[in-house]
Structure 1
Amino acid sequence: MVARQLDEQIAGRFPVGQRLRVLDVGMGQGTQALRLARAGHQVTGLERDQKMIAVAREALAAEPEGIRARMRIVEGDGQDTGVHFLPGSFDVVLCHGVLMYVEEPDPLLAGLARMLAPGGLLSLLVRNADALALRPGLMGDWPTALAAFDSTVYRNRLGLDVRADRLADLTATLAGIGAPLHAWYGVRVFTDTAADGAEPPADVATLLDTEERAGRTDPYRAVAALLHLCGVRG
């Protein structure tokens, strides 16, 4: 879903065929970074976890030479982008699944906005604090659901206590750092309660189409497990 939404925003902001400079902060195993490199963009993946870096390097090594030349991997922390890169160095900055591990996200977000060239796109994927009660409620965990209404902290599937963000708060933050919110989507509206490792349904294409439709339609997107926010550098 996020890939479709990101492609939509890129297509709406940049000329067709333009080779974009992309920074993927907290790239993980490099899935999104590799996808964009295959699409012809110049991609830098920033990651601090050595296991993730090893997986990403192995995947990159299996790609054709042209794609390998378009992607580089930098070991580092998203909060230190100013150490690694000059301001305005990128057309697109991704920060997907990272903010939940950052206690104070505002300095990180301000640093990411500085990395963007004018008109550049900042793509964030965060846990939706306004819907934290939904998953435990649907699973019948009433004490957790009740506590979630007044909290922005939750326990993820790895057993870690992490944090979530509210749409209103991030909207204000993005405006304050010069990359105001341009569009937002919900992600995992209907599938958040699926078990890890569950087999996909036979008609997975219809499932994806349904999730995509819900992710851009009110009121469904407001109760999605994740929010995908796209800000644009002024």
Structure 2
Amino acid sequence: MALKDQSFNGLAHKFNRNIYGTTKGQLRHTLLCEVLSESLSGLPPQRIIELGGGTGVMSAFLAAQGHHLTLTDISEEILALAREQLDSAIDIRQADLFSVNELGDFDVVVCHAVLEWLAHPFDALAHLGTQMAPGAKLSLTFFNRDAALFSNAIYGNFDYIARGMKVKNQVRLNPQQPLSPKVVIDRLEQLGFSIKSMRGIRCFHDYLRDKDMAASHYEELLALERQYCTQEPYLWLGKYFHLWLEKN
């Protein structure tokens, strides 16, 4: 069966609980907020568009920092939740990534955890490369195929790995297209992006043998993630991989 771009219509409330109501969601959001705060530090208010931003948790954070936000998502159901929760100053638009053709009007493009839900993620990167203006910044996060393989090997899912980590019946909240960071980096450089920083997101959390420790030792875990997320070899094992880039 051919892959299709994933929408979360029909799953909006479950998506919201699973992503932000868990330690893995909280940790990912906290670490990404920190890297964006660091990357945007000292700059005047930026015009920022978030692609595939879901309920707008990151848009809300950035707007609270004084930036001007536009939030897009393919799911109108998800955006209905966003409209209930977000300040009216945030411009909310229902659109898929490929239909957003005014990226050149923005200083920063945020595209977090979107590529792995697309049928053609590298076409999406090409769209960003074509549309973004020189000097604009891109905050990109995606589900790490190398980390997914490593964690499945740890849990003994050898048959799954042998099948290329493909399942017969795709679960809608499981990313369908994890990507290898080095492959993505190579493609982005070909598209005219310069890498300013990179880091792993959840380098340790998802490998805990005692899953209860993610909650009982959350602060210690967060400190460990902060300490090692930019250091090799740990950054390559982050369940998500983050890149801060500039369009040449």
Q: Could you tell me the TM-score, scaled by structure 2's length?
A: 0.77
How many Å apart are 1:147 and its aligned residue?
Answer: 2.4
Structure 2: distance between partners of 1:177 and 1:96: 19
Post-superposition Cα deviations, 1:86-125, rounded to whole Å, max 9, x if no partner, equal x521111011111011122233223223443332211111
Structure 2: distance between partners of 1:130 and 1:7: 27
* Corresponding residue of 2:185: 171
Paired amino acid for 1:128: N
How many Å apart are 1:180 and its aligned residue?
Answer: 2.4
Paired amino acid for 1:9: S
Structure 2: distance between partners of 1:202 and 1:17: 37
SS class of match (2:135):
strand
Structure 1: distance between partners of 2:61 and 2:237: 28
SS class of match (2:232):
coil
* Corresponding residue of 2:36: 6
How many Å apart are 1:58 and its aligned residue?
Answer: 0.5
Paired amino acid for 1:47: D
Instruction: Name the CA shift for 1:231/1:156 in 2 (closer, same or farther; >3 Å).
Output: farther
* Corresponding residue of 2:16: none
Structure 1: distance between partners of 2:189 and 2:233: 24
Query: Does the Cα contact within 8 Å between 1:88 and 1:114 map onto a contact in 2?
Result: no
Selected match of 1:80 from 69, 79, 99: 99
Instruction: Name the CA shift for 1:157/1:210 in 2 (closer, same or farther; >3 Å).
Output: farther
Aligned residues: 216
* Corresponding residue of 1:211: 225
Q: Which runs of 5+ in 1 are unaligned?
A: none
Paired amino acid for 1:56: A
Post-superposition Cα deviations, 1:142-177, rounded to whole Å, max 9, x if no partner, equal 333x427xx475798746460111122211221122
Instruction: Name the CA shift for 1:183/1:192 in 2 (closer, same or farther; >3 Å).
Output: same
Query: Does the Cα contact within 8 Å between 2:116 and 2:175 map onto a contact in 1?
Result: no
SS class of match (2:48):
strand
- Runs of 4+ in structure 1 deviating by more than 4 angstroms, as ranges, are 152-161, 197-200
* Corresponding residue of 1:51: 77
* Corresponding residue of 2:144: 128
Paired amino acid for 1:223: L
How many Å apart are 1:188 and its aligned residue?
Answer: 1.0
Q: Which runs of 5+ in 2 are unaligned?
A: 1-30
The percentage of aligned residue pairs carrying the same residue is 26
* Corresponding residue of 1:185: 199
